Structure formats: structure tokens, C-alpha cells
């Protein structure tokens, strides 16, 4: 059995490939380095990892779970959110003109409509989740080209709510 994933680290894709050598013995290639582990599942949902040929004290417990489109791993007391490289979409809009929902929540207010001329940092909408309000501000000065958000709508994290086209200098 083998399993291969590509995750971003410091913005660079890193290929990780795990191959079962036999039993609980695994060989894992991370980038161009090879590691060998004895890996066993624990009843609490985690795994126990012992480096083969290494110091027995280097044994550790790791926990992993999917988190939306990403993978969350917790090892030696730190959690990392790992995501696969995304293909870049080309578009006429600057990235900063896209106002995305920074969290899953409810749209409380929309302060703009298509065609509005807006200033950088102007509040375009207000989102609420878990009893807290969050302002969504324009990343740049420009013209509102699209308003997807409607008041009262539940939106998922990452949804584009408003698009602003940069004003020409």
C-alpha cells in the first residue's frame, strides 16, 4: 500500500509519499529525503510513530483530520494546516479586489451596490459569526463590479462576496 500527497510548505509544493514496507513498517519520502517509521493506530484516533533505527525516545504521537479542503496534523504539541497547491486562476480582477468571507457566518449588512465608487479600507459589508461582528473592507479603491452577498445569507469561509475593480490611475 502507498499514499502520496503534495502539500505546500513555505509556499513551495513538497511531495510526500508513504509506502508500506511490511506490517507496521513504513518508508516515507518527504521531498528528496527518506524516513522510516513504525506506525500504529491508537484507539484515541491518533497514531504512534517510532523512527526505525532511531532513538526510542524519538517516538511520538500524531493526530490528523481533514479540515475543509485542507488536512490538519498535530504532532509534538503543534498543529499545522496543510493544503495542496491550488492552480492559479487568471482573471481581470486584482486579487485584493476580491472580498471573501474570512469565516463561515451570516451576512449582517451590505453597504455597497454594483457601480459604487469605493475607497480603500471602506467598510463594504459586515459579517457576524459566534456573536461577533467583522467588517469586510475594500482592499483597494475602485468600482464595485459584483455583489454576491445578500443580507441574512449564511456563507461559507472563502466565498467571494464582493468584487471591486481597481480604479485606473
Partner 1 sequence: MPAPLAKPPFRRVLIANRGEIAVRICRGLRELGIESIAVYSDVDREAAHVLAADHAVALFGNSAAESYLDVGKILAAAKAMGAEAIHPGYGFLSENSSFARAVREAGFVFIGPNPAAMERLGGKKAAREEAIRAGVPVIPGTEQDEGDASLVAAAKKIGLPVMVKASAGGGGRGMRMVEREQDLAEAIASGRREAKAAFGDDRMILEKAVAPARHIEIQLMGDQHGNVVSLHERECSVQRRHQKVLEEAPSPAVDAVLRARMGAAAILLGKAVGYDNAGTAEFLVDAQGNFYFLEVNARLQVEHPVTELVTGVDLVHLQLRVAAGERLDDLLRGRDLQPRGHALEARICAESPEQGFLPAAGLLRLVCEPMGPGIRVDSGVYSGFAVPVFYDSLLAKLIVYAPDRATACTRMAQALRDSVYLGIPTNVDFLRRVVEDPDFRAGKLTTDFLKYKPDVVAGGGSEPSDLALAAAVLCEAIAPRALAGHVSSVDAASGGSGGRCSSAVWNELGGFRVFGDGV
Residue ranges that bind partner 1, judged by CB under 8 A = 1, 3-5, 7, 9-10, 14, 16-18, 20, 26, 28, 30-31, 33, 35, 37, 39-42, 44-47, 49, 60, 62-68, 71-82, 102-106, 128-134, 154-157
Phi-psi region of 135 (alpha: psi -120 to 50; beta: other; left: phi over 0): beta
CB of 5 to partner 1, least distance (A): 5
Angle among Cα 71, 75, 79 to the nearest 5 degrees reads 50
Separation of alpha carbons 61 and 67, rounded Å? 19
Q: In the structure grid, which three cell numbers stand for residue 79, read together?
A: 498543529
Biggest distance spanned by C-alpha atoms of the chain: 66
CB of 61 to partner 1, least distance (A): 9
Q: For residues 133 and 151, which CB has a smaller minimum distance to partner 1 in the complex?
A: 133
Q: For residues 16 and 93, which CB has a smaller minimum distance to partner 1 in the complex?
A: 16
Q: For residues 56 and 132, which CB has a smaller minimum distance to partner 1 in the complex?
A: 132
Amino acid at each position: 500500500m502507498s499514499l502520496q500527497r503534495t502539500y505546500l510548505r513555505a509556499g513551495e509544493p513538497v511531495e510526500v509519499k508513504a509506502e508500506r514496507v511490511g506490517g507496521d513498517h513504513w518508508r516515507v519520502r518527504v521531498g528528496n529525503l527518506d524516513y522510516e517509521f513504525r506506525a500504529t493506530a491508537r484507539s484515541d484516533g491518533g497514531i504512534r510513530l517510532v523512527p526505525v533505527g532511531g532513538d526510542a525516545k524519538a517516538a511520538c504521537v500524531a493526530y490528523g483530520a481533514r479540515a475543509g479542503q485542507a488536512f490538519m496534523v498535530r504532532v509534538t504539541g503543534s498543529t499545522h494546516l496543510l493544503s495542496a497547491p491550488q492552480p492559479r486562476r487568471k482573471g481581470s480582477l486584482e486579487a485584493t479586489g476580491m472580498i471573501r468571507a474570512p469565516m463561515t457566518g451570516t451576512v449582517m449588512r451590505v453597504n455597497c451596490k454594483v457601480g459604487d465608487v469605493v475607497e480603500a479600507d471602506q467598510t463594504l459589508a459586515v459579517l457576524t459569526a459566534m456573536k461577533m461582528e467583522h467588517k469586510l473592507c475594500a482592499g483597494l479603491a475602485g468600482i464595485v463590479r459584483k455583489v454576491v452577498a445578500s443580507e441574512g445569507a449564511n456563507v461559507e469561509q472563502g466565498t467571494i462576496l464582493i468584487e471591486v475593480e481597481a480604479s485606473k490611475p
